[in-house]
Chains A and B, each alone.
Chain A
Amino acid sequence: MSEFIVETHQLTKSYADKKVLDNLTLQLEPGLVHGIVGNNGAGKSTLLKILLGLSSADSGSSQIMHCDSQTIKPALRTAIGYINADYQLPEHLNISQLAQLQKAHFVDWDQALFEQIIASIDVNQKHHVGQLSRGQKTSVNLALTMAQKPKLLILDEPTAGLDMSSQQFVFDMLLTNDYFEKHTILYCTHRSEELERIADNVVVLNNGKLVAQGDVNHIINQVSHWRVCFDSPFKQLSTVPGLLSSRLMDDVYYFSVNSFAGDLTDFFNQNTAAEVQQIQPNFAKAVAALTNTTTTRVKLAGEV
């Protein structure tokens, strides 16, 4: 039996002519918080839907908790919690009725935990879902999912559209809950700063491809950033080794390149650079560089 809780092998999925997942091979270990990050349309949500058996791949295979995700047994779903950004709870039910509905299906349902979370967001259980704010709905959703006591919690952009306090609530729930210290969380977002706080392992997707995987430091070290001033406009972008992205601001070029390219000081100096400076790397910049597309970066820097 595989040691990985989630495993995909050459997973490919297309919508019309667009490849959303492109030969994605991925292995995630149990007991960690895995962050999946990428731009909109990078294939994050599609990957999760395929893993949950809510969508099928065009080719390749995927396993979740040692089970083929296309043939997940109903019983296995008790062990998997799932929340997505557009997740719409039935608005005609009140919170209490929702809890009853969940309780009837999930054997490990923790009513005390559910009530504790609901109490902390200050809503009445008689309130209908339709009456709640977006943040409250997310919190209720989180309460419903956490009370299921899943061994694997899958969160697909749970904080999308939430204000700061609601986001904080979500993180507090996840980070301070002892239960999830022992179990696995798959956290999918396009906001890298969220992952920096909670992820043990980060998966960076770009156009359906895996571009980097590892802990936060590993991702940061994947990219080096350079600030360069040239005497004359620099038009040799394609010659920059390992270039990931570039931008031009106030006649100053900012380059993000793959770390394997090494020290680029000499390269820039040879190209009439007046000033070359390596910038302190950070996670957000690294992710942004890794998830940029080639066409975008050339336009940004070369044509401005």
Chain B
Amino acid sequence: MKALIHAEFLRLKPLTIRCLGLNLLILLLVGERLPAFLLSGQGLFIVTIIYAVAATLTGIHQGSLLNQPNQRAFLFHRPIAPVAICNGVVAAAMASFTLAFVLPLVVIVGGALWWFQSVTLGHLNVFFDITVLCFCCYLAGLLKHQTQILVGALIVLLPLFMVFVGIGSIALMLLCLALFMLNRRMFSASETRKIDSLSQAVLLSMPLQLVCMLVLSFAFALIYQLSINLFDDKHKGDWMTYWSDGSYQQISRVPREQRVQLLLNRDIAQNPDMSAQLLPNFVYQYPFNNAHEITYFKGNAVLPTDDKRDTLALNNNQLTVSSTFAITLKAGGDKISSIDVFYDSAETLIAIVYQPQILSENGLPFAQIIEIDAHGKTLIDRIIEFESGWPLTYQLRHFIMSPLLAGLNTLLVEQNPNRFANGFQPQKPVLWLMILVCLMSLWLTHRLVDKLAMTKKERLCWLAINTLTGVIGLLTLLLIYRPFKNTTPEVQNST
């Protein structure tokens, strides 16, 4: 077996090297813009497509060996079980795959991101999903009749994969099983039985592999959530707010101190003299550590003046921020459960104030967003109504539906210096493109049915399954892109 894996790996070596070259080329072409490129939806789309195509080509390259009788005979006429031979070949491919795709993803892309920005769990999540996609494409490439099955399956599934890896995997699993069941006639016309066996082996192993991947995804999600909720006290009570216009705000993904640090960093970065002296350790006295003690008068907040801002000082390389820096909301009236303050721009602060005791006209709890300019002038920007619901539930649902998108959203929030994130909202043309691709897949499905000369029953099943896959994709689109709830902040329980 070892000899077989080694021999097969030698065969894949040139391809592996080319894929590595491709990665380097991407890196060179994109250069310093890589993080921004990856963080944009389009950039990620392009990179993922490139990797998926490369993985598919690897599969086809190996499949050509396994699926052609004359070439296959050299491997299969051996005193080893055919399954072991397949395993050996796939193992070699996995080694090549790891070298060509996984390592570059982690080392080159991750390394570049680390170099320019810090790597987060969101990055890892996205990498993981791209790896799953590549693996699926590789397996699809191994199959016989790639020109028919691959084109059909990938065109149907690629738009799903791009955004909905979670459900896309399940769809692929169903589709492959359906193709297997319905294309038996086509396979039975194959020249040799072993080709069928190989196709069967690959097709049957694919769902298993995908289930494993999904289990890993869930495990990853759980570990992620546990690490936030159990091991990091600072994140307890974090909440995520979903605005009714579709955007959302993940306020407490990082500790408040760190968040303020980021704000300060950004301010200081505007002043090269100060940024040069910035050190990571500093003392910050957060004024609102006990929300119950703060009272609030609507429209009467005071922002530190320019003079007070000057009180920021470097003292023995340690930045000390005086409490005067913070907003002072003068007392009077109802208690405030929570208040978060952000810089929206260099000159404007935004305060989000939540008062659970007061309900909106619709009888729902609400929060107010207040903009405060540099001169302390305040303006109520808008009022947001909350609906009941737990952000964690949403996050998990989000992750299950689409680990890739959930990861990307998390990533965007983590990367956003002012903690405002609109999430990954695809441009309308992209959305239309996806719908177009789905329609094309239906058309292609129809054409394939003609080629395969199926019975009426088989034809209907085949069309139904492919249609269902497309419909599921579109429904998922709607679910993902329009978050349906403004969730009540968890802090409500402590009032």
- Measured CB to CB, the residues of A under 8 A from B are 15-16, 49, 52-56, 70, 74-78, 80, 82, 84, 86-90, 92-93, 97, 100-101, 103-107
CB contact under 8 A between A77 and B77, given known A49-B192, A55-B192: yes
Question: Bound state CA distance, A272 and B2, in angstroms?
Answer: 75
Is the CB–CB distance between B70 and A97 below 8 Å? no
Chain A CB within 8 A of B4 CB: yes
Q: Does B235 interact with chain A (Cβ within 8 Å)?
A: no
Alpha-carbon distance between A296 and B74 when the two chains are bound, in angstroms: 37
- Contact between B77 and A52, CB atoms less than 8 A apart: yes
Whether B266 sits at the interface, judged by CB under 8 Å, is: no
Check if A101 sits within 8 Å of B4, measured CB to CB. yes
Contacts of A56 in B (CB 8 A): 192-193
Cross-chain contact B74 with A89 (CB below 8 angstroms): yes
> Which residues of A sit under 8 angstroms from B74, Cβ to Cβ?
87-90
User: Which residue on B lies nearest to A81, using beta carbons?
Assistant: B77
Beta-carbon contact of B10 and A93 below 8 Å: yes
Indicate if the CB atoms of A97 and B7 lie closer than 8 Å: yes
B10 touches A92 (CB 8 A): yes
Bound-state CA distance A15–B192 (Å) is 10
Separation of A56 and B78 alpha carbons in the complex (Å): 18
Q: Which residues 182-225 in B have Cβ within 8 Å of A in the complex?
A: 189, 191-194
Residues of B within 8 A of A76 (CB): 79
* B70 in contact with A87 (CB, 8 Å): yes
Q: A49-B192, A54-B192, A105-B79 are in contact. Are A84 and B70 (CB under 8 A)?
A: yes
Q: List 28 A–B pairs whose Cβ atoms lie within 8 Å, in order of A's numbering.
A: A15-B191, A52-B77, A54-B72, A54-B73, A54-B194, A55-B191, A56-B192, A70-B193, A74-B78, A74-B79, A74-B80, A76-B79, A77-B79, A82-B73, A84-B73, A87-B70, A87-B73, A87-B74, A88-B71, A89-B74, A90-B11, A92-B10, A92-B13, A97-B7, A97-B10, A103-B3, A105-B3, A105-B4
Does B478 sit at the interface, judged by CB under 8 A?
A: no
Is B81 part of the contact surface with A, judged by Cβ < 8 Å?
yes
Q: Is B394 an interface residue (CB 8 A)?
A: no
The reply to whether the CB of B43 lies closer than 8 angstroms to some CB of chain A is: no
User: Which single residue of chain B is at the shortest CB-CB distance from A100?
Assistant: B3
Cα distance, A105 to B13, chains bound together (Å): 23
Give the residues in chain B near A78, CB-CB below 8 Å.
79
Chain A contacts for B69, CB-based, 8 A: 49, 54-55
A93 to B7, CA, bound (A): 7
What is the interface of chain B, defined by CB distance below 8 A to chain A?
2-4, 6-7, 10-11, 13-14, 69-74, 76-81, 189, 191-194
Q: Shortest Cβ distance from B241 into chain A, in angstroms?
A: 58
Distance between Cα atoms of A256 and B7 in the complex (Å): 53
CA separation between A105 and B85, bound complex, in Å?
11
Q: Can you name 9 extra interface pairs (CB under 8 A) apart from A82-B73, A82-B77? A: A74-B80, A74-B81, A88-B74, A89-B74, A101-B7, A104-B4, A105-B4, A105-B79, A107-B79
Chain B proximity of A90: nearest CB distance (Å): 6
The distance from the CB of A179 to the nearest CB of chain B, in whole angstroms, is: 19
Shortest CB distance B62–A (Å):
12
Residues of B within 8 A of A89 (CB): 74
- Measured CB to CB, the closest approach of chain B to A186, in angstroms, equals 14
Cα(A104)–Cα(B7), bound, Å: 11
Closest to A49 in B: B192
Q: Is the CB of B79 within 8 A of A106?
A: yes
Most chain A CB within a 10 A radius of its CB, from B72, B74, B80, B192: B74
Closest 8 CB pairs of A and B: A104-B3, A56-B193, A86-B70, A55-B192, A78-B79, A74-B79, A77-B79, A92-B11
CB-CB nearest in chain A for B65: A90
Given A49-B69, A86-B70, A104-B2, A54 contacting B10 (CB threshold 8 A)? no
With a CB–CB cut-off of 8 A, which chain B residues contact A103?
3
Chain B residues within an 8 Å CB radius of A107: 79
- Give B298 Cβ to nearest chain A Cβ, in Å: 76
Q: For the complex, what is the distance from the CA of A118 to the CA of B192, rounded to whole Å?
A: 32
* Nearest CB in chain A: distance from B11 CB, A: 5
**Minimum Cβ distance to chain B for residue A217 (Å):** 34
* In the complex, chain A residues whose CB is within 8 Å of the CB of B10: 92-93, 97
Q: Does the CB pair A105–B80 fall under 8 Å?
A: yes
How far does the alpha carbon of A22 sit from the alpha carbon of B198 in the complex, in Å? 27
Cα of A48 to Cα of B241 in the assembled complex, Å? 70
Q: Tell which of B77, B81, B192 has the most Cβ of chain A within 10 Å.
A: B77
Q: Which of chain B's residues have a CB closer than 8 A to the CB of A101?
A: 3-4, 6-7
How far is it, in angstroms, between the C-alpha of A106 and the C-alpha of B80 when the chains are bound? 10
Chain A residues near B80 (CB, 8 Å)?
A: 74, 105
Q: Which residue of A lies closest to B70 (CB)?
A: A86
Residues of A within 8 A of B4 (CB): 101, 104-105
Q: Which of B6, B71, B189 contacts A16 (CB 8 A)?
A: B189
Among residues of A, the one whose C-beta sits closest to the C-beta of B3 is: A104
Q: Is the CB of A90 within 8 A of B70?
A: no
CB distance from B86 to the nearest CB of A (A): 13
* Residues of the A chain whose Cβ atoms lie less than 8 Å from the Cβ of B72: 54
Chain A min CB distance to B195 (Å): 9
